[in-house]
Amino acid sequence: MNDQSPLSVGTPAPNSADEIRAAVIRSFRESACSDKPYAFWVVSEVLPEATARALLDLPFPAPVIDDTEGKRDTHNSTRVFFSAENQAKYPVCAAIAEALQHPETVAAIKDVTGADLDGSSLRIEFAQDRDGFWLEPHTDIGPKRITFLHYLFDVPGAETLGTDYYEDDEANTHAGTSPSAFNQGFVFIPARNTWHGFEKRAITGIRKSVIINYVGQEWRNRQELAFPNDPV
């Protein structure tokens, strides 16, 4: 690969894994919690600023997709994960994965949210959504022990591009939209009532985010995991 970006192979991450871990733990300790229509947490300044900005420079192309059909897995071949391969190429991916894998980070997330993360595996997706993107209401129930949507929107109208949440699976029960300032996050424990999605609306530029899950060992696509042989 002839990539000349600041994050080429061998370039140090802007912050160490320890610094990233401290920022993530602080963001959870200082999070705001809501219980309507279900329990969720809003975390702010999730990563050190330099690391959050560095993610914007990752050289992965934003896929051109005619229609998601309301699901991310409609176009699985275009999805990007902080896999072992991408961690080896991009130190910022490795530093973030190491920070989120650390027992202290896992313990803080468990303490704040009550999520059962024991024996789960870390999965980190780098999402880039173009105008026309939408997601139907869904719950994330199944192997996902926790869902952590970290927003990196550095585009006009970013404050309108958060995750939509619902009273049930019908779009006409829309209950709100998560705050989505740069480096904020929306966190919940998947359950039968955790309906969320993204209603189609104008996106100027690329809507970038990091989707973090800790998933059970029944997760089939092991190549997506940051440490497929090392549960937390």
Q: Which domains are present in the chain?
A: 17-224 (2.60.120.620)
What per-residue confidence (pLDDT) applies to 114?
A: 98
**Which residue matches tokens 């993204």?**
198
C-alpha of 108 from chain center: 17
What per-residue confidence (pLDDT) applies to 70?
A: 64
Q: What is the phi/psi pair of residue 168, to 5°?
A: -155, -160
Strand order in the sheet with 185-188: 32-34, 40-43, 185-188, 144-151, 207-215, 121-129, 80-81
pLDDT in tens, 75-115: 656 799 999 999 999 999 999 999 999 999 999 999 999 99
* Residue 71 to residue 216: CA distance in whole angstroms: 21
What per-residue confidence (pLDDT) applies to 7?
A: 46
What per-residue confidence (pLDDT) applies to 75?
A: 65
What per-residue confidence (pLDDT) applies to 211?
A: 98
Q: Token digits for 203?
A: 């996106």
Q: What is the phi/psi pair of residue 210, to 5°?
A: -115, 125
pTM value > 0.85: yes
Q: Which residues of the chain have pLDDT under 50?
A: 1-8
What per-residue confidence (pLDDT) applies to 73?
A: 58
What per-residue confidence (pLDDT) applies to 14?
A: 93
- For the chain, where are the E strands, in sequence order? 32-34, 40-43, 80-81, 121-129, 135-138, 144-151, 164-166, 174-177, 185-188, 196-198, 207-215
What per-residue confidence (pLDDT) applies to 9?
A: 53
